[in-house]
Structure 1
Amino acid sequence: MTAFSDAFRAEVLRMARKEIKGELGSLRKTVTAQRSEIAALKRDVKDLVSQVKGIHKAAARQAAPGKAQAQDAEVPARQGRRFQFKAEALATKREQLGLSQQAMASLLEASTLSVARWEGGKAMPRAKQLERIQVVLKMGKREALAKL
């Protein structure tokens, strides 16, 4: 009896597959068509987004000269060149002031190790430290000792 039920089940499955095969074929075709359409739409969206970004940048560039002129009128421009750090200058100034690296570090509000690396040229100070270094380089011996 099991042989008959197995054969019957197999036949029913075969017939069911045969009948839905046509329907599945058309569904597969529509799925692939929809996937390709989705991919095309994604490409279109990507192109449109890049165009919008380009237009936005162009508008910002056109608006920027007007803003820059307005800012120049409000804030006076800096005079002179940008400060350029030189390790030798820091070491020379420390010797001129007669300070140890530890005293120079406290004057610059930095660690002794940082001062040693700056003087040795092994590290570059950050912008905030550059401002302090610039102030210290302009100091005289009395002013430096007074600050300590």
Structure 2
Amino acid sequence: MPNIASALKDEITRLARKELRASTDTLKKAVATYRSEIAALKRRVDQLERQQKRTTKVVARAVPAEQPRDDGQLRWRASGFAQHRKRLGLSAHEAGTLLGVSPLTVYKWESGQARPRAQYLPAIAQFRSLGKREAARRLEELAA
């Protein structure tokens, strides 16, 4: 017959293992879930990076890169044009009237969807040199 101390020790060990197994099973399940989520996120990141590379290539082909010019030719920057128009307090329609183009053309220039043709660059350079009063005066002249 086993002695009471060894029986008590065996029972305590069995119960401790049972409790540890119960607590570690939930942790094992959580770890497995986290690993699968991490793997899914890695796949998603890879997919988005590939998509971004394809989009960059398409945009690079669609909009030609601006070439630096050192020979005194006129330069174009869509954001600068939009800022100046807003600084003058002009609508796209009014700016288009001053430049001899449609308001839609002005919007496309400002959004970067299109670049002005070379024939409009001198007019745009002159537009960039206008102040508020001069722009208002020219608009009145064109309206009359």
- What is the TM-score of this pair, normalised by structure 1? 0.45
Larger Rg over CA atoms: 1
Higher helix share: 1
